[in-house]
Homo-oligomer: A and B are copies of this chain.
Amino acid sequence: MAEFIPSDPPMIVLFTDFGADDIYVPQVKAVLLREAPANTPVIDLLHSVPSFNARAGAHLLAALQPEFPAGTIFMAVVDPGVGSARDAVVVEADGKWYVGPDNGLLSVVAARAARVRTSRIVWRPESLSASFHGRDLFAPVAGWLARGDRLTEKLEPSAGLTLRLGAGDLAEIIYRDHYGNLFTGLRAGSVSCAATIQAGGHVLTYARVFAEAPPRRAFWYENSTGLVEIAISGGSAATELGLDVGSPVTVISPSMPN
């Protein structure tokens, strides 16, 4: 693919569990309209991150962020602890910015990056709702970063994130798409095509693509984000296999005895 050129102003990418058809995202966008430069592109990357699940979100965000150019500002919010003592942070990782809670959500991206800088958001708005920091705290910060403001008064350098999930893969289902395909937290680059994937008592072999898989039989393949995905051609793997987010998966290498 052609190189992404950083846009000016940079794009803001939203990654939340707020739901695409609910009242939360438009309130965030009203704040971005006010605080970010005119013509800032705002992209709804995903608003159906598994609800309250920062761990699945962390691995999904790490898989999806390479699609976006340097300079991109991610506002990533999956925040069951909103209103508690968890911190609010800005992470700069390999030239991209991430604004969100310090609850693990940004920690897989941070752990896999070559260059990382972490800051705590010490600024607080005059009126901060107890339940919607996406609108009141994270959106203004994302908007100001898009203006090129580096927020020296509002951020404080930090030694790193408090809650860290590490750089490794996650051997679980982390996302179910609307077709019923199941994304795992395993990067396919490290899994041999000769390996089988076990999940919920099912044993799945590899196919390169849907059109090459036997009709209506579950298989695994490297999906367009580079993750191991479990799918059924023309059907819903989630429904037919009885699997969902959180289900564990196991890779059985070809040389291992069954």
A179 engages B27 (CB within 8 Å) = no
Cα A136 to Cα B179 with chains together (Å) = 20
Closest residue of chain B to A175 (Cβ to Cβ) is: B23
Q: Indicate whether A19 reaches chain B with its CB closer than 8 angstroms.
A: yes
A132 contacts across to B, CB distance below 8 A: 223-224
Cα A13 to Cα B30 with chains together (Å) = 10
**CB contact between A34 and one of B2, B25, B38, B39 (< 8 Å): that residue:** B2
How many subunits of this chain does the assembly comprise? 3
Q: Indicate whether A44 reaches chain B with its CB closer than 8 angstroms.
A: yes
**CB contact between A208 and one of B24, B83, B225 (< 8 Å): that residue:** B83
How many A residues have CB within 8 A of the partner chain?
67
A181 to chain B, nearest CB (A): 10
A82 contacts across to B, CB distance below 8 A: 209-211
B208 engages A130 (CB within 8 Å) = yes
Cα A127 to Cα B223 with chains together (Å) = 14
B5 engages A34 (CB within 8 Å) = yes
Q: Indicate whether A20 reaches chain B with its CB closer than 8 angstroms.
A: yes
**CB contact between A7 and one of B13, B33, B208 (< 8 Å): that residue:** B33
Q: Indicate whether A46 reaches chain B with its CB closer than 8 angstroms.
A: yes
Interface residues of A in 66-90 (CB under 8 A from B): 67-69, 80-84
Listed stretches A47-55, A91-99, A110-118, A247-255; interface member: A47-55
**CB contact between A19 and one of B33, B126, B177 (< 8 Å): that residue:** B177
A233 contacts across to B, CB distance below 8 A: 80
Q: Indicate whether A59 reaches chain B with its CB closer than 8 angstroms.
A: no
A67 to chain B, nearest CB (A): 5
24 intermolecular pairs with C-beta atoms under 8 Å apart? A1-B127, A2-B125, A4-B34, A19-B177, A19-B178, A23-B46, A23-B225, A24-B177, A25-B44, A26-B43, A26-B44, A27-B64, A27-B67, A30-B43, A51-B179, A80-B234, A83-B211, A84-B209, A84-B212, A129-B224, A130-B209, A131-B210, A131-B223, A132-B223
If A11-B30, A84-B212 are given as contacts, then 15 extra A-B residue pairs at C-beta distance below 8 Å, sorted by A number, are: A1-B125, A1-B127, A1-B136, A2-B34, A4-B30, A19-B21, A21-B47, A25-B44, A34-B69, A52-B234, A82-B210, A130-B209, A130-B221, A131-B209, A131-B210
